[in-house]
Structure 1
Amino acid sequence: MLTPDESRVGAKKKAPWKGTLLAFPPVPMVATVQQQMFALVTGRCGQDPIVRQESGDHASCFRALTIGTNNVNAPNNYFDGCLDSIAYFGRAKNATEVLDDATNVAYLSFDDNSLLDSGPLLINGTGTSYSYTSLGRVNAALTLSGSSSYIQITGLRRLGTSGWPYSVAIWIKPTSSSGGTIMHLSSGTAGTGSWCIPIMGFTSAGQIAINSWSGGNVVLTGPIVSLNSWTHVAATYSSSNGERLYVNGAQYGSSSSTYTFSASSVPMTITLGNSLSGIGYCATGTIQMGQYSGSLDEFRVYARELTASEVYSLAHP
């Protein structure tokens, strides 16, 4: 299995491409893996199918990997449950990478003029009335304009789980800040449903604000954001620390007390740049729901509370 981080054959950088090398009959196949050349040859090792890997003077014989059962304690030796996103990496990942694999829900970099997810879950975005700019905060960025511009990612199960920690982060470059939704969380793709709130946006006075829910709005209001310049905004939540707002890597505020995030119990949708039909329908807090105008870059969602140092690193790439 070739994964985005390890192997790419004819794929652009950051493209979430996967493929399997198959050869019938067995023939050498060449792939570039971390800028080294490897020859992969299918065949057999005794009675087992193998992939033989050769790099320079080194050759290894790998036996087949069986997932879901083994030859011990038969017949009660089968895994009973669900598996997802199985990937093989031909190296030892460090602790930071493993944590990212486990908790990075989505990462839309908007590079290569695409809405492809560069995170491990490949939750690609969709949208309408958007364009790309090469003048992003990190490489390329996305621009929203007009009255119905937005980007969406769906199927976010952890954000529908009460009490589960989460973090969202994004670079914004607004052309207007007299209201507007940056991120809207809803159980329906129209911005409505049984559960919906804007979780990041502008007040009518142009202040950045974030919003959570615990039987009512949990609101934090930050500074007025400069127009036509890049600002990094992050919101984090955990049951032990409550809600926290970070602007350009510095903590700006936190909720006055801890609380349990009251979620919908269904997979959620995040809409960037618009609340859609949620305007006038969803509980809003201090955010003036409406169309966001400007550029967005490096959108990230995590199923955990980022630390202050992690947020700082995102704000200083």
Structure 2
Amino acid sequence: MNKNVAVIGAGSMGIAMAVLLSKNGNNVKVWSPMSDEINMLKENREHLTRLPGVKIPDSVEFTTDIYIAAKNCDVVVLAVPSQTTRQNCKALSSIISKDTIVVTCSKGIEDDTCKLLSEIMHEELPHNNIAVLSGPSHAEEIARDVPTTVVAASEKNEVAQYLQDLFMTPNFRVYTNTDVIGVELGGALKNIIALCAGISDGLGYGDNTKAALMTRGITEISRLGVAMGGKADTFSGLTGVGDLIVTCTSMHSRNRRAGILIGQGKSVQQALEEVNMVVEGVATTKPAYELAKRLGVSMPITNEAYDVLYKGKDPRKAVGDLMTRDKKNEMQ
């Protein structure tokens, strides 16, 4: 398509998106506020800590100046920690034109407001078309051209189709969807369940336990999603079940890795320091817990995750409390 694309964020997903979009014939500029990171990328054409071994095309440009990155671009790709979405959109609001499409690859819920990232984007960039790119998509595999399928979601189908054309390659298949709430919530909430799956692994529990967590996890994700206006069918698709499977089972998953460490007895802070990357499930658990209370939605796994992460509850006790809840019909 030969579009001008700004990638905001130079972590693993930002670099994976830059590599993919550049190989697809687009003009790509990558922004990071960290001069050490930008200098390393310029000198090595490789992110030595986040995506070692992945060579970045020479055509990709790097800058610490967000104005240079985003000015006159057709599309902005947000690949930043979810809790920084608002501040980055504020910075972009005085730079990009109303014709620029803004798409987020981040997966989370804003802590203070319990708002979805798409809601934040609409608030801070009210004149721009907004979209979400989500699905079972580890950056480590996208960057190495491993076959991957995702969903581009926008309230306007033509915007989703535009992004489908922009991103799609023979090894990166993009579907469209207009259920932004469902697509975004599936991507955000599965991180909580993946964290719990990791805790289960760290405790030494087995495949039976993980299967139970994943199955009951998607049930409560769907409950909250539908209560917030998402479509039930979305949660059985790539951004629901699909993303849940990959995040609960892969060691690429930061959430699972952090959970394993917590299950092994390390504190939440120790686990985060050892993973040394953003673990979205920790930050997302609190607003998800608050939303469930506000909307009267039953989310027992999320409730126990909240108690473990924020109240210091012993993970084994949390599992025991889940297993000994009142008897129910499965479809209740």
Q: Work out which structure has the larger RCO, using CA pairs closer than 8 Å and 6 or more positions apart in sequence.
A: 1
- TM-score, length-normalised on structure 2? 0.24
Q: Of the two, which has the highest radius of gyration? A: 1
Larger strand fraction of residues: 1
